[in-house]
Every structure is written in structure tokens, then in C-alpha cells.
Amino acid sequence: MTVATEQSALNFECETGNYHTFCPISCVAWLYQKIEDSFFLVIGTKTCGYFLQNAMGVMIFAEPRYAMAELEEGDISAQLNDYQELKRLCEQIKRDRNPSVIVWIGTCTTEIIKMDLEGLAPKLEAEIGIPIVVARANGLDYAFTQGEDTVLAAMAHRCPDKAPITDTEKHERNAIQKLLHFGKKKEDVAQEESEYVDHQPLVLFGSLPDPVVTQLTLELKKQGVKVSGWLPAKRFTELPVIEEGYYVAGVNPFLSRTATTLMRRKKCKLIGAPFPIGPDGTRAWVEKICSVLGITPQGLDEREAQIWENLEDYVQLIRGKSVFFMGDNLLEISLARFLVRCGMTVPEIGIPYMDKRYQAAELELLEKTCNEMGVALPKIVEKPDNYNQVQRIYDLKPDLVITGMSHANPLEARGINTKWSVEFTFAQIHGFGNARDILELVTRPLRRNNNLKDLGWDKLVREEAKV
């Protein structure tokens, strides 16, 4: 599964790591919404709290199921007892919200003062009777979306090892099953079972909005592939059964730790596929899953072709244009691969962290796509240096820069089109049906330009003295 990278002609570089990205604790913002009975407690300082409150914008006012355990000077100097303090706060959370799980998010500060969260959690869990999952989603080790990876890797340990004995109970357990069987009689369910090919159980991992979960599940159902469960499920109490020998497949490119945990600790078999982003990616993802499960996929050709046809008006806008990824959320390889297929050129793909094993199939598809489209292979820059990148952007003058918000406005003022990268993390971009949403984002600055083109005010900073 992971052999192709060695001969890869893709050019990998690594810079200084002076780049802008979100702190990985930001994952609480989408995970608390996804896992409805959870409570996320971020154990950190005012800095962490300030980031969350500002980055999450209006969400903070919707009575979020997350909070800061704000460390004070007494906690840092160990004048206060960690265990007692955490117990006090968790009891308060239990009283006010009564969640099914409390997720502790370790931060830079807990790392530095070496607070033993993994050690404290089981003790406290026994005492207060609520599962406590510990994820070290800190800025010392991880970037942005990798936060979700640390949480899901920790959650994987909580997935039941054995399916309950009776069939009905099994169905109760799995949210997807319940969703699909909703309101149906037993014989209907049995009838539905026959729509699936008999294969080894498959569990998918990666947090996606529920509508996208449904879409991807239905997509696989068309091929007779049954999704036995999804990590994470809608509720912590519905985490899927993961037995030894199950197949697992990732839906997002930043889930390497989760993949590793599922393989090494839960003894699962990982299906290394490109990610279902863009119609090409979705097709490759479905095909790869089918091939591993011994199924011949049906009708994918027409399905993909039809999606491309629907995208043509947007593809026309970007064909032949260039896009530069500054890199901050690890979706970059998949997005670049899709955009090359759309006819764009990609001089540089910045990325915070490149797991060549986990992303092997995706890298292979990127290379293949470039060759088929007859465009140069992009340079992949791990841990980029934003200052150097801006200099390269001035030289290359790309038609579009996909970047974080700290660079977007300054680049726009200099006549360079930008798309804010974080939107790709929150928009629905997976599966055949959402390919248009990706292009909706990518083409937005270009469509804006078409609307404003004759106004003559694309450069809005005074000529700077050349340094």
C-alpha cells in the first residue's frame, strides 16, 4: 500500500517552520458539535482561551460544550494540587451539563509543566463516573487539524473490542445503521442486508458533518459496501465496535495518528486510499475500498463524468491558472490534486506536516494526475517559512494564493488573489456531491475579479521603497 513514495519524483523540501496556522486546540470547535454528548475541557492559559474565543467567533455564544480550565500561577508552581483542581472543575461540569464524556485537551503549558493528564484521568474517571479522554493537542507538536487526529486517536482506544452478542444490539450500537434502518421493520432490515456484498467489516474514521456522513455512506452502499461504523459517531456512547481484523479507511489527510492507533493497537487493516475530496478523489477512494474488499465497482465512470460535466462552468474559470498553497491545514495535497485535475498548475504546496506513508496513495494520485494533465510536478514544502513564501509569491505571481487570514488581506492589497484556507476545513468538501462546493470557494476571488475588473484599483498599497 505504501510502496509508491520511494520512487516518487515529487520534490519534497522542508523549511524553517515559521508559518501561520491555527492552534490544534481549535478542533474542539467542530468536535463538540459533532459529538453531541461530549464536553471538551481545554487545560491551558488565557492565551489558549483568547484564541478559541476569537477564532470561533459567534459560536462562543451558543452555550458551547467546551470551556477552559484556566491555569493560574498557583497551578504552574504546583502550590495547588492538579488532581483536586481538575476534580473540582469536572464535578462542576458533571453537575451543570452531565456529559457522557469529558475530553481533556492538553496544551503547551501542561506539556511544559509535565502535568500527568493521562495518569490523572483514569483515577478521576473512576471517582466521578464519567469517561475522561485525554488528547494532547498542543502547539509544540501539532498544527491545526492535527488536533482532531490526537482526539480521535485517543477515542479509538474507547471503541468496544467485541460486538455485542445479539444482532439487534449491534444495530442499536451503530449510529449509521440506526440512521439507515430508521423506522423500518425487521424483515425490511433483513431485506436491506441483502443489498450489501458480504465483506469484512469496514469502519471509517474522520469527523464530518452528518449530511456528508450520510452521502459517503450511501455512496459506498451503491457498491454494496456496508459501513459498520464511523469514528467519531454522533454520540460518544455510539462509538463503533472495532474488532481485530476489521478494515478501516480515513476520510481526511490529517489523521495519521488515528490510522496508526487503529493499526497497531486495534489490529485493524488500513485501506490506504486517496481521500474523497473532488470527484477524482472520491472515485479513487471508492475504487480502492472496493478493490480491497473484493468488489468490482459499478458505474463510477459515468458518475464521475457526470459530476465533471456539472462543474464545467466553474472549471472554465480556473483552467490554466496557477494556485499557490501556503499551507496550514494538511488538506493541501488532496486539494492540489483536485485542482490540477481541474486544469490548474500548482507551483508550490506548503503543508505543515507530511506523512508520506499515510498519504501515499494520495501522493501517487497527485503525481499521476500531473503527468496525465501534462503539468509540472509541484514542489511540496513541509514546515514552510511564510516570509520566504511571500517572496516566492511576489516572484511567481500566482493567480490564486490559498492562505491563512493573517496574509490574505495584505496580499489582496498587493493585487494578489487569495482564498482563506480555513474555509476548506469547515465547508462540506467530501464526496461527489460536494465537489462543487470546493470550486465555489476556489473560484470566488476570481468571480469577484470578473465583477470588479474594469475599476483599476487592484493594487491598494503605496509603492514601497525597495529594500
Which of 39, 144, 205, 247 forms a contact with another protein (CB under 8 A)? 144
Using CB atoms within 10 A of its CB, is residue 114 exposed (0-12), middle (13-18) or buried (19+)?
exposed
Q: Is 140 in the site for another protein (CB under 8 A)?
A: yes
CB of residue 378 to another protein, shortest distance in Å: 23
Q: Kindly report the number of other CB atoms within 10 A of residue 367's CB atom.
A: 20
CB of residue 428 to another protein, shortest distance in Å: 11
Nearer to another protein, 49 or 343 (CB): 49
Compose the 369-398 pattern: x for residues touching another protein by CB under 8 A, - for all others: ------------------x--x--------
Compose the 89-118 pattern: x for residues touching another protein by CB under 8 A, - for all others: x--xx--------------xx-xxx-----
Please name the residues in contact with 233: beta carbons below 8 A apart, sequence gap of 6 or more. 35, 174, 175, 176, 239, 240
CB of residue 327 to another protein, shortest distance in Å: 12
**H or E element in which residue 452 lies:** helix 435-452
Residues 328, 385 contacting (CB under 8 angstroms): no
Touching another protein, residues 214-233 (CB under 8 A): 214-215, 218
Part of the chain binding another protein (CB under 8 A), chosen from 65-73, 121-129, 188-196, 256-264: 65-73
Number of residues written out for the chain = 467
CB of residue 231 to another protein, shortest distance in Å: 21
Q: Kindly report the number of other CB atoms within 10 A of residue 463's CB atom.
A: 6
| Pick from 103, 118, 37: nearest CA to 67 | 103
Which of 7, 54, 79, 166 forms a contact with another protein (CB under 8 A)? 54
CA distances from 301 to 53, 284, 296, 431, 435 (A): 45, 11, 13, 15, 16
Part of the chain binding another protein (CB under 8 A), chosen from 44-52, 250-258, 372-380, 445-453: 44-52
Distance CA 22, CA 200 (A): 38
CB of residue 267 to another protein, shortest distance in Å: 29
Which of 10, 24, 117, 360 forms a contact with another protein (CB under 8 A)? 24
**H or E element in which residue 250 lies:** strand 247-250
Touching another protein, residues 412-431 (CB under 8 A): 413
Give me the residue label for grid cell 480491497: 292
Touching another protein, residues 305-364 (CB under 8 A): 306-307, 310-311
Part of the chain binding another protein (CB under 8 A), chosen from 53-61, 246-254, 361-369, 450-458: 53-61
Residues 299, 287 contacting (CB under 8 angstroms): no
Distance CA 87, CA 69 (A): 11
Nearer to another protein, 373 or 387 (CB): 387
CB of residue 245 to another protein, shortest distance in Å: 30
Nearer to another protein, 37 or 70 (CB): 70
Compose the 154-193 pattern: x for residues touching another protein by CB under 8 A, - for all others: -------------------------xx-xx----------
CA distances from 384 to 16, 80, 311, 353 (A): 6, 40, 32, 10
Part of the chain binding another protein (CB under 8 A), chosen from 138-146, 200-208, 248-256, 360-368: 138-146
Amino acid at 446: L
CA triple 421-448-332, angle to 5 deg:
20
Secondary structure of residue 394 in the 3-state scheme: helix
